[in-house]
Structure 1
Amino acid sequence: MQITTPDIGVDKATVAEILVKVGDTIAVDDSIVLLESDKASVEVPSTSAGVVKSILVNLGEDVAEGAVLIELEAEGQTEAPAVVATPKVEEKSAPVATKVEVAQATPVTASQVVDVQVPDIGVEKAIVAEILVNVGDVVAVDDSLVLLESDKASVEVPSPVAGTIEAIEIQAGDSVKEGVVILKVKTATTAPVVEAPKAGAVSASAPVKTEIAPQATVAVQTGVIEIAVPDLGVDKATVAEILVQVGDTVEKDQSIVVVESDKATVEVPSTAAGVIKAIHVQLGQSVSEGIALVTIEGQSSAPVVAPVPTEAPKASVKAQPAPMASASKAIEVVASQGADKLTKAQNDANAKVYAGPAVRKLARELGVVLSEVSASGPHERLMKEDLVAYVKMRLTAPQVAPVAQAVAQVSGLPKLPDFSAFGGVEEKVLTRLQQVSIPQLSLNNFIPQVTQFDVADISELEAWRNDLKGNFKKEGISLTIMAFIIKAVAHLLKEERDFSGHLADDGKSVLLRNEIHMGIAVATPDGLTVPVLRHPDQKSIKQIAVELGVLGQKARDKKLSPKDLQGANFTITSLGSIGGTAFTPLVNWPQVAILGISPATMQPVWNGEGFDPKLMLPLSLSYDHRVINGADAARFTNKLTKLLKDIRSLLI
């Protein structure tokens, strides 16, 4: 019988350790293989007792649900000889030497078309964000085919087979779920062709009875699953709340832990249904991607097929000795080839780079830090060709003496003095969101920041907003002045691209972004968070107003996902109607500019003959002086005031 990979909660996992060897006698639930993924490590138990007949996986090999791991000879059975025909032998006759030889298979290459389906991605539905291949492309196993997005994460679907893309069954923007066919791959397979049996010596002294063992379905097995910290978009986060207890029964996608970072508060959902067996974290603990949160005992969805024992054949067959030395050597070679040559810190750096599973695996084997490789794929996606070119360049480049790099250290402040002689103190604990924001805010110490102040006449814009907001309110939409400001700034950023760019690490260039993703600061009871509004330059005022309301509510309800907080290249922050005349917002690295909005007030404005009452909006543009000059900032705010004074300029 064959022991297969159960449902381990991920599409694929790597064979990290083989816990048995050929000839071992194992019992039910004995661990046979250790599998590792980017989420957790799982020991696969045997679903039956018996003797290990063969091991069908190698160290470092990727396996998916249903993949055969080992072949097991059940207790009480002996291996049946593979014969095409069994000669009849009379019980009373003397021993007869009968020659029977096992049929041999000759491999013949044939092609077949494989349907690639949406795997279990942990959500009911997802949107096809990007199709990464074209018809006619040749793909290898684990090459990324399609990028799917949900409200929880972005997932690249890898190819389960190697071959040529025959057809693409979906389009960008389609909503798909598990089991939907996304494309067809034409792959070459090797089909065995059985030859006629030839004579060979088998000694038979008794009647030989051969039966085909029927198969029976064994009851579904339970499995232990570790739920780990997913990709939060940050290096570390703090456990703010544990929502379950040992013994609780949870459903799939039910929130189990709340973690907080300097970006947001995120609820981590369970990837499987079951009973909580252990909790591995504590309140206030700092965790990163891959750290185990809880252990769940759940039901495996894969039935296990086992043969029913039949009468054992009595013919003795002389077995050929297995070449154990060669097999061990092959396993050692595979292990050495698949070994991870990177440190934990380098692997953490690789996790932040946009690349597919096959590229990541190759990088680990070659010891390449992906952040050092230039990406040529769409949306700065790292391709396998980029990795190969980088390695070739490093191998052919002349050796140079290592240069010590200056590491920027956060300036430390001295310890506080003792205030006991002056009445003492009362300690007020910062919220976790405030605590984890401190390192990000400290980066501002290394940015030479300047703030440009200006005011915009929004009298006509406010009058137009008042005319519109009644109809918007009937539709349940809150139309604020912020929606108009976002639209105007997005239009301006297409002209002034430096303001939405980033200073390169070497300080020799500015990285100009091809898309606009705008961070909008939102005040919550726990502190300030900055969700991201995507492509505001491509949206109407109404669309922007709707999305502002949704993002603001998600921020206040602590429902922002990591994706909601990533990728911004410009930020707007507003004091609303709280008060004040101006302020200097801090540039949010790696961005180079941020716009602050203060409350608008009625002011007398000289028209050449007299003073007119005008509604004036104060603007505060803070910028990184290494990238933006004062004249550039003055030009930016001047253009913005003109757009806000007459919003019709956007149509020209």
Structure 2
Amino acid sequence: MSESDNVKDIVIPDIGDSENVEIIEILVSPGDQISVDDSLLTLESDKASMEVPATEAGVIESLSISVGDTVNAGDVIGTMSTMDGGSADEKASSSKDSSKDSSSEGSTDSSRESSEDDAAPTAADDAPRESDSSASAAEESKAAASKAADKSSSTSSSPTAHISDDRIRKAHASPGVRRYAREHGADLSLISGTGPKGRISKDDVRAFIKQAMEGVSANYGSHAGGVAGSGAGIPAIPEVDFTKFGDVERVPLGRINKLSAANLHRAWLNLPMVTHHELADVTEMESFRKQLKNEAREGDPKVTGLAFHMKALVKTLQAFPRLNSSLSADGEALFYKNYYHIGIAVDTPNGLVVPVFRDVDKKSINQLAEEMSDVSSRARNKKLKPDEMQGASMTISSLGGIGGTSFTPIVNPPEVAILGITRATMQPVWNGSEFVPRLMCPLDLTYDHRVVDGADAARFMAHYVRQISDIRRLTL
């Protein structure tokens, strides 16, 4: 490579407020020719997977990362030469020849090959990484976890019941780690930090949670013959040997599936949830939506019923601000939100993700339709950033395109409610003198009973039904 080549660092771009995001797949290797926006690697945070795109065209010169490493915004992960110093083909050939004898780059290629099959992730991809220097600290975390498990099982079925606010305040941890521990119900006062001066990292919290769950499961599994991983003082489900009944295939869950399961389980254990079921007449709304579809020109965004539901939800949250709040960690106050951000659950091949649409009150139906098309596409292609899945006022989980008559969605903390929507069907409705066919849509509102009572929920849904049944009200 000549001295005129323009060699630049490859830098991790802004990835929201996530820290130490894990690399689960490397999509390029030294010698590869890339274009702008080509994906370089895949990262996976606690919320979702995302791909890091190239900001310039050129040839990969070197990579300094491997699968399993963690990175932050601004980290340098390698170098690349841009097109200023010669043809891309010459650069690719030169770089590949020079990389044949490089053991470190060969290791990167091997790491890439070992993670190309998303359907069969390795244990190393899913497990928290621990350095050799933290082995003794991990043992301390294990002992602390056992202590926490014993205390939890003897005092309360809630995994956060024993946490002391005063002891947590004295723990040596950053705000991001404190938030992470709070969201996962981990007591920082029981965790030994492996960082400088005993500073607690997210890996320390993950190790603590893992050991605590295993400790509680072992406590009950030894008596019930159960499967490890149940936790929270709940007797484990006995393990079953399914091979006794026929051929089986064991397929490990993806990391997002496992994280979603843990988050939902935590919500189910901590929140007293109630679901209110309702029916809404969406005949006029659907008629108007079809009219918009017929009038649409080529290139116009596809307007779905979900855009109308988002606007109706905002109108109802404005009328009932208690449902646009979050309960403080100590349970002694409510945080009322003066913004209206709506989360939409999106089903992707990699698991369920919930992108958040901000300031829905300030956007038109067409704007929301266009944004939904873009966000849904990026969600399915791992292009969403972590901060695009945070800060919702309330979430909508829609099964309208699949079917069903009703369901009980689980609240996504720190939100206090979630709206479920299932497929609308034509039904006979009595209008006072005769039955007439109307398109009726089942709605399901699950709410945190610590914040919302039954009367509030009933009034909230009655108001929502008026909004979605007569979309003229959305303009008021």
TM-score by length of 1: 0.47
Residue 298 (structure 1) shift:
6.2
**Does residue 626 in structure 1 map to residue 450 in structure 2?**
yes
| Cα 1:243–1:368 shift into 2, 3 Å | closer
| Cα 1:288–1:592 shift into 2, 3 Å | farther
Residue of 244, 248, 257 corresponding to 2:28: 244
**Bigger relative contact order (CA 8 A; separation at least 6):** 2
Residue 248 (structure 1) shift:
3.9
Mapped partners of 2:347, 2:76: distance in 1? 29
Mapped partners of 2:72, 2:398: distance in 1? 33
Mapped partners of 2:370, 2:74: distance in 1? 37
In the alignment, what sits opposite 2:226?
Answer: none
How do 1:332-371 and structure 2 match up within 5 A?
345-346=173-174, 348-349=176-177
Residue of 79, 83, 86 corresponding to 1:296: 79
CA contact (8 A) 1:227 1:270 kept: no
Secondary structure at the counterpart of residue 302 of structure 2: coil
Secondary structure at the counterpart of residue 596 of structure 1: strand
Write out per-residue CA displacement over residues 260-305 of structure 1, whole angstroms, 9 at most, x where no aligned residue. Answer: 34533211245787744344222xx373636968332669x9xxxx
CA contact (8 A) 2:15 2:385 kept: no
CA contact (8 A) 2:173 2:199 kept: no
**Does residue 277 in structure 1 map to residue 101 in structure 2?**
no
Mapped partners of 1:345, 1:257: distance in 2? 29
Mapped partners of 1:550, 1:233: distance in 2? 22
Secondary structure at the counterpart of residue 627 of structure 1: coil
Residue of 251, 264, 267 corresponding to 2:51: 267
Residue 344 (structure 1) shift:
7.9
Unaligned residue ranges in structure 1 (runs of 5+) = 1-218, 302-341, 353-366, 370-408
Identify the range of structure 1 (496-505 vs 416-425) with the bigger mean alpha-carbon deviation: 416-425
Secondary structure at the counterpart of residue 404 of structure 2: coil
Residue 523 (structure 1) shift:
1.7
| Cα 1:351–1:228 shift into 2, 3 Å | farther
Residue 499 (structure 1) shift:
1.4
Residue of 335, 341, 346 corresponding to 1:517: 341
Residue of 221, 238, 256 corresponding to 2:40: 256
In the alignment, what sits opposite 1:438?
Answer: 261
| Cα 1:278–1:651 shift into 2, 3 Å | closer
Mapped partners of 1:286, 1:427: distance in 2? 27
How do 1:475-494 and structure 2 match up within 5 A?
475-494=299-318
Write out per-residue CA displacement over residues 387-414 of structure 1, whole angstroms, 9 at most, x where no aligned residue. Answer: xxxxxxxxxxxxxxxxxxxxxx756745
**Does residue 580 in structure 1 map to residue 363 in structure 2?**
no
Unaligned residue ranges in structure 2 (runs of 5+) = 85-169, 181-197, 201-230
Residue of 277, 280, 287 corresponding to 2:70: 287
Mapped partners of 2:287, 2:80: distance in 1? 61
**What letter is aligned with 2:77?**
V
CA contact (8 A) 1:261 1:436 kept: no
CA contact (8 A) 1:232 1:562 kept: yes
How do 1:93-104 and structure 2 match up within 5 A?
none
How do 1:41-190 and structure 2 match up within 5 A?
none
**What letter is aligned with 2:380?**
R
Mapped partners of 1:348, 1:455: distance in 2? 42
| Cα 1:262–1:629 shift into 2, 3 Å | same
Mapped partners of 1:438, 1:238: distance in 2? 19
CA contact (8 A) 1:242 1:257 kept: yes
| Cα 1:617–1:347 shift into 2, 3 Å | closer
Residue of 407, 410, 435 corresponding to 1:611: 435
CA contact (8 A) 1:238 1:287 kept: yes
| Cα 1:423–1:625 shift into 2, 3 Å | same
**Does residue 425 in structure 1 map to residue 248 in structure 2?**
yes
Mapped partners of 1:592, 1:577: distance in 2? 25
Write out per-residue CA displacement over residues 211-241 of structure 1, whole angstroms, 9 at most, x where no aligned residue. Answer: xxxxxxxx88998857458545445655332
Residue 579 (structure 1) shift:
1.4
How do 1:378-397 and structure 2 match up within 5 A?
none
Mapped partners of 1:286, 1:499: distance in 2? 40
Write out per-residue CA displacement over residues 301-347 of structure 1, whole angstroms, 9 at most, x where no aligned residue. Answer: 9xxxxxxxxxxxxxxxxxxxxxxxxxxxxxxxxxxxxxxxx988426
Secondary structure at the counterpart of residue 545 of structure 1: helix
How do 1:215-226 and structure 2 match up within 5 A?
225=9
CA contact (8 A) 1:278 1:294 kept: yes
In the alignment, what sits opposite 1:453?
Answer: 277
Mapped partners of 2:382, 2:238: distance in 1? 34
**What letter is aligned with 2:318?**
K
CA contact (8 A) 2:342 2:395 kept: yes
**What letter is aligned with 1:426?**
E
| Cα 1:276–1:592 shift into 2, 3 Å | farther
Judging by fraction of residues, say which structure has more helix: 2
TM-score by length of 2: 0.63
**Does residue 602 in structure 1 map to residue 426 in structure 2?**
yes
**What letter is aligned with 2:52?**
V
Count of matched residue positions in the alignment of Structure 1 and Structure 2? 342
| Cα 1:289–1:416 shift into 2, 3 Å | farther
| Cα 1:276–1:452 shift into 2, 3 Å | farther
Mapped partners of 2:59, 2:310: distance in 1? 45
Secondary structure at the counterpart of residue 470 of structure 1: helix
**What letter is aligned with 2:431?**
N
In the alignment, what sits opposite 1:136?
Answer: none
Mapped partners of 1:479, 1:645: distance in 2? 17
Mapped partners of 2:331, 2:301: distance in 1? 44
| Cα 1:581–1:508 shift into 2, 3 Å | same
Residue of 555, 567, 573 corresponding to 2:379: 555
Residue 517 (structure 1) shift:
0.8
Paired-residue identity, %: 39
Secondary structure at the counterpart of residue 642 of structure 1: helix
Residue 639 (structure 1) shift:
0.5
